[in-house]
Amino acid sequence: MQLAIVIMAAGKGTRLKSKRAKVLHEIGGRSLLQHVIASASQIVAPKDIYVIVGHQAAQVRAAVQDTGVQFVDQGEPQGTGHAVQAAEPAVQGYENILVLSGDVPLLKPFTIAQLRDFHLEHRAAMTVLTAVPHDPAGYGRVLRKSETEVTAIVEQKALTTEQQKIGEINSGIYAFRTEPLFAHLGELKAENSHQELYLTDMAGILVKAKERVLALQAAHAVEVLGANTIAEMMDLDREMRLDTARELMARGVTIFRPETTVIDSSVEIGPDTVIEPYVQLLGHTKIGEDCRIRSYTVIENTTVADRVLIRQGCVIANSRIDNGAFIGPFTHMRPETEIGEDAHAGAFVETKKIKLGKGSKANHLTYLGNAEIGAGTNIGAGTITCNYDGVSKHTTLIGDGVFVGSDTTLVAPISVGNGAYIAAGSAITENVPEGALALGRSRQTTKDGWAKARKQRVEEAINKKDGPRR
């Protein structure tokens, strides 16, 4: 058992001014902690990842339970050193551990692997991942005695005037050989303003014990930056989303004005697809090749196949759209919608739990709920499937090659056979056989001269009341 990863996730994050635990705040479509676990899971198996929980422990566990990681309850958090003390029984059988912060979401698996390899290669007791950001204020500084060796880590509040000029910061991310770590972990003392046990003090303790303490500088400082305020967290969100956009563009996706888009890190997009400004692609959305997603569209947890056009202002969730379909503008596709190949769901169409067959069209001002619609069917403007009777939902079945005239209401449960016609303005309450014509409207009555006579009566009444008009 050579390596385990310990993730610190017990803190409150009081400076966020939020009721939620810090690691449960989201950027890039996932919580801070989920991002860290995702990166760590590319280094070791989830069973070798130990998340230290404390504040809102039950909520943190529930949020990442499905990742397969293990948990260590720190109780009332008393600092990072105390967290590792709490984890000791769980990880003492490993030769080495990596300690990551649950609130540093931009850290990439490549950088974690670099830290691991450097630490193992040099057989260090402790290896500190460092960085040189543009502004080191607020971070502890790393004191070196050589190109790789460290003498101590000094917290921001304890820096001398000369030490404040040091630009290299402590990221709070470490590698340890467990034998010397646990041999000296009990030497930590809460001699600081917060009366907590700081893991940073292990650098000085291990140096004093003649153990090797090394430092490895991260290539990109932004990877190790955390956030103590909502504003700082949104800076990380912007950086992550721009990084996601850059990766997608490198794979052949065109993204106009990427700074205006909101694309979660879990989204997949195929080459030659075009994403216009102000689009939001969220959750586990997957978009194929040669698609175009026009501005102000929001797509969440949806699979979009190839050559699909989604026009402006659509809202789509938990659905599927097949090859060559046309959607929008202003279409609302609610969960469990399936749009078939070359099908159309057009302007101001709302769907919920439906299947629209290959080549079928619902182009205007229509609500389709709990319906299965065959291939080559035309749904006229203003059509409504009346699926809810106040207690239960019912299904409408429409076959292939059906013509549904405008302003039709289909009162479910009901079926319409292949090739049937439904006259415009009908209220259909009974099944329609294959090839039949259904009319469900009252007969028109026309009264000749009625409007002219009414106008004359109105004028006579006015003249009688007010006198003749001049």
- Torsion angle in degrees (nearest 10) through CA of 268, 239, 277, 275: -20
From the list 428, 425, 423, 424, the residue with the least C-alpha distance to 412 is 428
Tell me the C-alpha distance between 103 and 227, whole Å: 7
Exposed (0-12), middle (13-18) or buried (19+): which is 339, by Cβ within 10 Å?
A: buried
- On whether 74 is known to bind a ligand per the annotation, the reply is yes
- On whether 232 is known to bind a ligand per the annotation, the reply is no
- On whether 367 is known to bind a ligand per the annotation, the reply is yes
- On whether 421 is known to bind a ligand per the annotation, the reply is no
- On whether 80 is known to bind a ligand per the annotation, the reply is yes
- On whether 406 is known to bind a ligand per the annotation, the reply is yes
Parallel, antiparallel, or unpaired for β 70-73 and 150-154? unpaired
Tell me the C-alpha distance between 120 and 103, whole Å: 25
- On whether 352 is known to bind a ligand per the annotation, the reply is yes
329 preceded by a cis bond (ω within 30 of 0): yes
Tell me the C-alpha distance between 319 and 333, whole Å: 7
- On whether 441 is known to bind a ligand per the annotation, the reply is yes
How many CB atoms sit inside 10 A of residue 135's CB? 9
- On whether 192 is known to bind a ligand per the annotation, the reply is no
Q: Which residues contact 398 (CB under 8 A, 6 or more apart)?
A: 371, 372, 373, 374, 377, 379, 404, 410, 415, 416
- On whether 417 is known to bind a ligand per the annotation, the reply is no
- On whether 424 is known to bind a ligand per the annotation, the reply is yes
- On whether 459 is known to bind a ligand per the annotation, the reply is no
- On whether 101 is known to bind a ligand per the annotation, the reply is yes
- On whether 208 is known to bind a ligand per the annotation, the reply is no
How many CB atoms sit inside 10 A of residue 386's CB? 18
Sign of CA dihedral 52, 58, 61, 63: negative
- On whether 103 is known to bind a ligand per the annotation, the reply is yes
66 in the Ramachandran plot: left (φ > 0), alpha (ψ -120 to 50) or beta? alpha
Active-site hit among 184, 220, 364, 394: 364
Tell me the C-alpha distance between 7 and 288, whole Å: 35
- On whether 140 is known to bind a ligand per the annotation, the reply is yes
| Annotated catalytic residue 119 | no
- On whether 58 is known to bind a ligand per the annotation, the reply is no
Q: Which residues contact 65 (CB under 8 A, 6 or more apart)?
A: none
- Annotated binding-site residues for UDP-N-acetyl-alpha-D-glucosamine read 22, 74, 79-80, 101-103, 140, 155, 170, 228, 334, 352, 367, 378
Annotated binding site for acetyl-CoA: 381, 387-388, 406, 424, 441
Residue ranges for the known binding site are: 22, 74, 79-80, 101-103, 140, 155, 170, 228, 334, 352, 367, 378, 381, 387-388, 406, 424, 441
Per the annotation, where are the binding residues for Mg(2+)? 103, 228
State the catalytic residues: 364
